[in-house]
A and B are shown apart, each in its own frame.
Chain A
Amino acid sequence: MKYFYLIFSSLKRKKIRTGLTILSIMVAFVLFGYLTAIRQAFDAGVEVAGADRLIVRHKVSIIQLLPQSYEAKIERIEGVDNAAHQTWFGGIYQEPKNFFAQIPMEPEELFDMFPEYVISDEHKAAWLETRSGVVVGRGLVERFGWKLGDRIPVNATIWGKKDGGRSWEFDLVGIYEGAEKGTDTSQFFFRYDFFDETRANGTGLVGWYTVRVTNPDKAAEVAAAIDAEFANSSKETKSEPEGAFIQGFVNQMGNIGFIIMSIMTAVFFTILLVAGNTMAYTVRERTNELAVLKAIGFTDRGVLALVLGESLALTFVGGVIGLGLAWLLVSMGDPTNGSFPVFYIPNRDIVLGLGLIVTMAFVAGILPALQAQKLQIADALRR
């Protein structure tokens, strides 16, 4: 503690240079925080995917449908606990930019298959009683300012109605919450029976199945057994873990994690050079002062610690302000106006950010600090 004023006083020596360096570090950490939230938005589904859940889809493509009758056959396969079908509705609410997923499901199966979606018994009962009912995640409700009892029109792009219309209307009867912070609460679930009876074509066909296995360790064997069951049929299947399935979806837009990591690496490398350069100049300019510190009794290690302390102070101030600003920006909402299922900086990434601050301080400061440590007092005082 008693050395703090010495460390901070040294940083005040060249205020403009220190300020600009702190600003650079701050910008890097704002980017880090913000891009972390974006990556989290893309990875959220992968992270909350159940280890005991498989996705069974058409072998050719997700847009090829499977018979609803597969459900009973899948459930008979050894190792399968339950199977629930889902279908991509792909409707538009008011205008195309208001994107969110709409999925018809069997109400009884939704909350059994996905325990991460939490709903009150009252809302659940209301959904079971209302054929045109829909349950919506908290995030989506807040995005559009909906409330229970609202009638929500959705214009179909895939599924026309038997009456020739394309406008489907749903009654908001329930709101589900996420069991965890990263749970996707941007979905819109409506009843499959209502969907199947109202759609003009495709009756009896579904998009894919979510299958829960009894033993996650045997998920690969169960997946193989499911695919074998439907091999050589007109609608062969491809079964894979839920996490891999969601990752495949995300990867259709590119390897988001890799892109973000590449940007971050470039930014941090550049900032590291800036901070390292500042520290190198700081030490070089103060050779004489460091020699005086040693002359009055500071040890070699003490001087090394002082220089590393300055490096830490520099990166800590910039890094913490940067992380704080990123947190504020992320709290203000996602840049897609709600299309991301989640948008927040996970705690583990805040810890990672703090770790990066310390690492950056060490890497930027270690060479100048070693230089200061090795400084020969008599030589330095002669300069």
Chain B
Amino acid sequence: MIKNNMDESLVKVSGVDKVFKRGSEVIHVLGGLDLEIPNGEFLALMGPSGSGKSTLLNLIGGLDRPSEGTIEVGGKRIDKLSNRKLAAWRARHVGLVFQFYNLMPVLSAQKNVELPLLLTRLSRSERKKRAAIALDIVGLSHRAGHYPRQLSGGEQQRTGIARAIVTDPTLLLCDEPTGDLDRKSGDEILDLLNTLNKEQGKTIIMVTHDIHAAARATRTLHLNKGRLSTEAVD
């Protein structure tokens, strides 16, 4: 169970290395990285392409495993979990928002939002009810029956956020959530993330290239060549 104590770090990344191998080539993406993220923080991760932002996000979200080091979320070593337990952990504690929304094109917004609830023991009516609440939170109740192709980019991303919050996760990981949107839609998404952070206490880690988006976070960290700093590196 993830602890929701404001005084404790929700996420602890200690001495994390991440190495990718492409044939005989070894690529060091992250090296000896340490990071603590308090509960309830809205953290923006910035950095140039290939700096390891998304890799770090994937490691914290349990989508990938570090080559070295440990990752604790809510006091639990997630790097040690089996694939099956890690999947169950993700389903319960992590909400993911992607740059290109990654909605199922053959499912309506309502069904897309319901997807994570299929992994719970909730009844069909309860799943439907919770998906409706999530869609209401993102202001898309009136579009519940629409398919992704019938929604604008901003609406698709809001559906993606509804899918991410429908299980009431502790941690919301957003990988360039405004990267594919115009400024107005991007602002709406950032407003929504701010609301989720402030009113619902969600801890949010957002990867972004956009200084304007990062300005909405409570803290911004910069990654460059696998190292973290509080200041941008040119």
> Chain A residues in contact with chain B, CB under 8 A?
2-3, 5-6, 9-10, 12-13, 288-289, 292-302, 376-378, 381-382
Contact = CB atoms under 8 A, between A and B. Distances in A.
B215 interface: no
Given A377-B64, A378-B58, A296 B91 contact: yes
A289 B104 contact: yes
Given A2-B124, A292-B102, A378-B63, A300 B87 contact: yes
Interface stretch (B110-118, B180-188, B222-230): B110-118
A299 B111 contact: no
Contacts of B63: 295, 377-378, 381
Contacts of A5: 107, 111
Nearest to B105: A13
Interface in B23-80: 54-55, 58, 61, 63-64
Contacts of B98: 292, 381
B61 to A, nearest CB: 8
A381 B163 CA distance: 17
Contacts of B96: 292, 295-296
Please provide the 9 A-B residue pairs with the shortest distance between their CB atoms, ordered closest to farther. A297-B91, A378-B64, A9-B106, A299-B87, A377-B63, A292-B102, A378-B58, A296-B116, A297-B90
A299 B58 contact: no
B58 A300 contact: no
Nearest to A286: B104
A378 B58 CA distance: 7
A289 B119 CA distance: 16
A297 B92 contact: yes
B88 interface: yes
B106 A12 contact: yes
A13 B104 CA distance: 10
B54 to A, nearest CB: 8
A122 B92 CA distance: 78
Interface on chain A toward B: helix, strand, loop, or mixed SS? helix
A382 B49 CA distance: 13
B21 interface: no
25 contacts: A5-B107, A6-B107, A6-B115, A9-B111, A13-B106, A288-B102, A289-B102, A293-B115, A295-B63, A295-B90, A296-B91, A296-B115, A297-B88, A297-B91, A297-B92, A297-B116, A299-B83, A299-B84, A300-B83, A300-B87, A302-B119, A377-B64, A378-B58, A378-B63, A378-B64
Most interface-central of A2, A3, A297, A382 (chain B CB within 10 A): A297
Contacts of A377: 58, 63-64
A10 B64 CA distance: 26
A378 B55 contact: yes
Contact of B107 (A9, A288, A299, A382): A9
Interface of B: 54-55, 58, 61, 63-64, 83-84, 87-88, 90-92, 96, 98, 102, 104-107, 111, 115-116, 118-119, 124, 163
A235 B92 CA distance: 88
A284 to B, nearest CB: 16
B84 A300 contact: yes
A203 B83 CA distance: 86
A6 B108 CA distance: 11
B147 to A, nearest CB: 10
A292 B55 CA distance: 16
Contacts of B91: 296-298
Contacts of B102: 288-289, 292, 381
A2 B127 CA distance: 11
B81 to A, nearest CB: 12
Contacts of A382: 54
A180 to B, nearest CB: 47
B204 to A, nearest CB: 17
A258 to B, nearest CB: 45
A292 B88 CA distance: 14
Nearest to A300: B83
A9 B54 CA distance: 30
A9 B163 CA distance: 18
Contact of B87 (A12, A13, A297, A378): A297
Nearest to A9: B106
Contacts of A301: 84
Given A9-B107, A378-B63, A294 B118 contact: no
Contacts of B87: 294, 297-300, 302
A17 B45 CA distance: 43
A284 B2 CA distance: 36
A2 B118 contact: yes
Contacts of A381: 58, 63, 98, 102
A301 B54 CA distance: 26
Contacts of A292: 96, 98, 102, 104
Contacts of A299: 83-84, 87-88
A362 B96 CA distance: 32
Nearest to A11: B106
A380 to B, nearest CB: 10
A288 B118 CA distance: 19
A375 B202 CA distance: 29
A6 B105 contact: no
A382 B176 CA distance: 13
A5 B128 CA distance: 14
A12 B54 CA distance: 33
